[in-house]
Structure 1
Amino acid sequence: MGKIIAIANQKGGVGKTTTSVNLAASLGVLEKKVLLIDADPQANATSGLGIDVETIEVGSYQLLEHTAKAEDCIISTDSPNVDIIPAHIDLVAIEIELVDKDQREYMMKQAISHLREQYDYILIDCAPSLGLLTLNALTASDSVIIPIQCEYFALEGLGKLLNTIKSVQKIHNKDLDIEGMLLTMYDQRLRLSNQVVEEVQKHFSDMVFETIIQRNVRLGEAPSYGESIIKYDVSSKGASNYLSLAKEIINKNS
């Protein structure tokens, strides 16, 4: 039975999509079968795996609308063992369209739960908001990874996200777990980076992944080539960080 993991934080620019794409690719090269669901209207995870967003005919929008079956939305990628349900800008409209539907928080869960049989991991790249899209992802997931960038406002908004997770646990998905908090964009030369790491580890000790994602130029370059860091430069610091995270998650779940 595959595990469904949402990658969520309502703050933008914390490394959600970078983590979704590169964790998927890392799990794939470690011979796990992975499905990445792009649930962000910006569709960066889709283009980050080399898929032309303009060519998308069915994707996460149709999946949530229940106008297409999950199987019809899946595209295979160049990354070994990684498939994707792509996103398109039309996903922007979904929040408004779902508002008056019955069971609107369960649309994704209903659409994807049977896919567990086919994959080891299903990762959901969430939008940078706490709207209906993210709520659908959290309701459908077994756990959530929270990327936190090692910068000044890192902990701002974290309380709000944790409250959202609590209320999802209470109302929609009592089994939702925190897979872990992932420190991203770490620069060991900066005192601030080190302070954030200490602060997060002090407050959330066991919930923080041992792996820390360091600032890495290659990580920033890879998406412009439509490639994961594993394909773009497997010898880079970014690749070894994400491979280490993938191993940590596999060990935790084995």
Structure 2
Amino acid sequence: MKRVVFNQKGGVGKSSISVNLAAVSAAMGYRTLLVDLDVQGNASHYLGVEEDSLPAGKTVADLLKQTVGWFGSLPAPDQYVHLTRFDNLSLLPASPALAGLERELEMRYKIYKLRDALRALEKQFDRIYIDTPPNFNFYSKSALIAADRVIIPFDCDGFSAQAIHRLMGNLLELKGDHNGELMAEGVVVNQFNAQARVPQQLVAELEEQDVVPLFGTRLSSSVKMKESHQQQTPLIHLAPGHKLTGQFIELFHELEPDFAPA
């Protein structure tokens, strides 16, 4: 199963959700891969993986670059995958080089290469999560073409149901053109304050319009998330008993209703 965490708006918590869902998945026993497709590399940094600490030429940018040229072909993708310090959790890390590579990949129509790479890795992993840039660019489209399911983070601060309509329009167009199997798994409400009126109104509006399923789990706003980033340690390892950690575990079970501990 390949899931992409996507929203074309920035600041909605894509990287935080990608990393923590992947970490919970791994902690539950699934062999899990996190793919960082954002040039900023926030997910990689969150897991304590910096490009200068990696062997040269071993990022997702290097993997995609190998497909360019007269003799460009997809190399063995597992050589670009790195173990993290957390059991069952591996990373295909980002690189700033993604920015300079995007135009060339797009011009040469390499938009299916990530899909091909992840298909080659499917036997090694039970779950694959993909973190995406905050726009509908080449890399986001590549991730959506490669994925089976989409998780849409919704931040109640300044976001609107109309934005979800626009996002779903883009997803449906891409589904029709490139990936007929793609399914919007649901919207996850992030930074939720149950005591505030506006978040309640926004969630009610989403539920009423019924454009896309809404996960029952709400992710609360908490300083523990900031601490988790600073410590470069996912919540399930940093604070297993924290309320927000419990919410990520609840969200995992919504995604994996048939999960049974080994």
Smaller-chain TM-score bracket: over 0.9
Code of the aligned partner of 2:86: S
Amino acid at match of 1:28: A
Deviation at 1:252, TM superposition (A): 6.3
CA distance in 2, matches of 1:156, 1:84: 34
Q: What number of residue pairs does the alignment pair up?
A: 251
Cα deviation digits, residues 117-173 of structure 1 (max 9, x gap): 111110000110101000000000111100001223233532222111111111111
Structure 2 residue 246 is matched with structure 1 residue 248: no
Establish whether residue 143 from structure 1 lines up as the match of residue 141 from structure 2.
no
2:34/2:90 contact within 8 Å kept:
yes
**5+ long unaligned stretches in structure 1:** none
Trace 1:182-197 onto structure 2 (pairs within 5 A).
182-197=188-203
Structure 2 counterparts to residues 127-206 of structure 1, below 5 A: 127-204=133-210
**Larger mean Cα displacement after TM superposition, 135-144 or 109-118:** 109-118
SS for the counterpart of 1:105 is coil
Cα displacement (A) at 1:12? 0.5
Q: 1:74 to 1:125 in 2, by over 3 A?
A: same
1:17 aligns to what?
15
Instruction: State the Cα distance separating 1:65 from its structure 2 match.
Output: 2.3
Aligned residue for 2:29? 31
CA separation in 2, counterparts of 1:94 and 1:116?
Answer: 25
CA contact (8 A) 2:77 2:120 kept: no
Match of 1:87 among 82, 87, 94: 94
Task: Give me the whole-angstrom Cα distance separating, in 2, the residues matched to 1:205 and 1:199.
Answer: 10
Which residue is equivalent to 1:61?
61
Relative to the length of structure 1, the TM-score reads 0.93
Q: Quick check: which one's helix share is greater?
A: 1
Deviation, structure 1 residue 179? 1.3
Tell me the TM-score normalised to structure 2 length.
0.90
- The structure with the largest alpha-carbon Rg is 2
Structure 2: tracts of 5 or more residues without a match: 68-74
Please point out which of 105, 114, 122 is paired with 2:111: 105
Letter matched to residue 150 of structure 1? C
Q: Is the contact between residue 42 and residue 89 of structure 1 (CA under 8 Å) also seen in structure 2?
A: yes
| Cα displacement (A) at 1:31 | 1.0
- Is residue 165–residue 211 contact of structure 2 (8 Å, CA) maintained in 1? no
| Cross-structure match for 2:2 | 4
2:235 to 210, 229, 238: 229
User: Could you tell me the percent identity over the aligned residues?
Assistant: 28
Q: CA RMSD in A?
A: 1.7
How many angstroms apart in 2 are the aligned matches of 1:54 and 1:193? 41
Distance (Å, rounded) in 2 between the aligned partners of 1:253 and 1:9: 27
1:205 Cα offset (Å): 7.2
Q: For the Cα contact (< 8 Å) 1:7–1:147, is it kept in 2?
A: yes
In structure 1, how many angstroms separate the alpha carbons of the residues matched to 2:83 and 2:3?
A: 19
